[in-house]
Amino acid sequence: MKHIPWDSYQIFLAVARTGSLSAAADRIGLSSATIGRRMLELERQMECGLFVRSQSGYSLTGGGQALLDHLTGMEVAGREMEIWNAGLCGAVRVRICAGTWCARFLARNLNALVHPGDRHGIDIGIGEERASLAHRSADVGIRAFEPEETNLAAVRLPEVAYAVYSALDMPPAHVDRWIAVSEEMAVSCYLRYPHDKWPNNLIATVSRAEGLRHSILSGAGVGVLPCFVGDTDSRLSRVGDEIAELRHRSWLVMNNEDRHRPEIRAVVDRMTTLFRRHAAVFEGRGGAGAPALSNAFDMAT
């Protein structure tokens, strides 16, 4: 068997994991035609059929599955060697993508995520759009729905509740005055809610969710916030009941092939424990987690 370049195996992994040339092309940045030719060449070099080709996509033959298992083992071993060779905390990074409020929650509870003796660090990034892991822009993401992508694994987190909030000292006459995130930046249901329900009562918009909280604290009007933000800020008060139509499930998502990496597994386990420990406040029920979260948000002015 001739020498096979490593990038041929990488292309094979993309096709095997996505099940189609077009999805693999989106993942690795080559054209579908190029990928198809490369896979035919790989099969010729290996003298083995790797795929069953059909109108529904590419599925693995027995030989293809054996190659996938072998390459997956090589990936895990290579990653562990990187960690061992680095030998320093923070040399390996786990990248987390979350919305504004979950990112702040993670940052304020960093001690629960990073432990003495870890041989990895974490990077917390804010992304209001749904967390996309397709191009390895992040290792772990938080979503408001269970992923449909076959290459992603998911862990269920507590539900998230929402309500309308005002500043404690807001004049009663301001209760019909709404503050919202600008319409072009309102990518989540709770951010769109004032635009959909009270478009004629909007007195101001801001470009970011964090600006929304500060604007509500000014006393100029009311706005919608997650309960784990509003209920744990001693300067805010709920206006009415939870907005039931906005409640949603949440999920931790990661790539299937990465979830067994020790650093990914450690971070996911710790994040899951942290969120579930504060389930009551995320679900709008208050509870034992509230004091710690209250300190976190009260100090961040």
pLDDT tens per residue, range 30-59: 899 999 999 999 999 988 899 999 988 999
Please report the pLDDT score of residue 125 as a whole number. Answer: 87
Both 109 and 242 in one domain: the answer is: no
Q: Looking at the 3D structure of the chain, how many domains does it have?
A: 3
Helices (H), the chain: 6-18, 21-28, 32-46, 62-86, 100-108, 189-197, 209-217, 227-230, 262-277, 279-282, 290-299
Alpha-carbon distances of 164 from 160, 212, 229, rounded to whole Å? 14, 12, 11
- Segment among 75-89, 130-144, 248-262 with least mean pLDDT: 75-89
Q: What is the three-class DSSP state of 49?
A: coil
Other Cβ atoms closer than 10 A to 235: 16
DSSP track, 230-280: HTT-TTEEEESS--GGG-EEEEEEEETTTTTSHHHHHHHHHHHHHHHHTHH
Both 154 and 182 in one domain: the answer is: no
pLDDT tens-digit readout, 78-90: 666 565 555 544 4
Q: What is the three-class DSSP state of 93?
A: strand
Both 154 and 258 in one domain: the answer is: yes
Who wins on pLDDT, 130 or 260?
Answer: 260
Question: Can you give the residue range of the structural domain that contains 44?
Answer: 6-86
Rounded-to-integer distance, Cα 142 and Cα 293, Å:
19
Rounded-to-integer distance, Cα 243 and Cα 225, Å:
10
Rounded-to-integer distance, Cα 181 and Cα 85, Å:
46
Both 275 and 155 in one domain: the answer is: yes
Both 167 and 24 in one domain: the answer is: no
Q: Is residue 254 part of a domain?
A: yes
Which of 246, 263, 291 marks a domain boundary?
Answer: 246
Banded model confidence at residue 299, pLDDT cuts 50, 70, 90: very low
Both 29 and 82 in one domain: the answer is: yes
Residue 258: pLDDT over 60:
yes
Which of 57, 86, 115 marks a domain boundary?
Answer: 86
Mean pLDDT of the chain: 85
Rounded-to-integer distance, Cα 165 and Cα 163, Å:
6
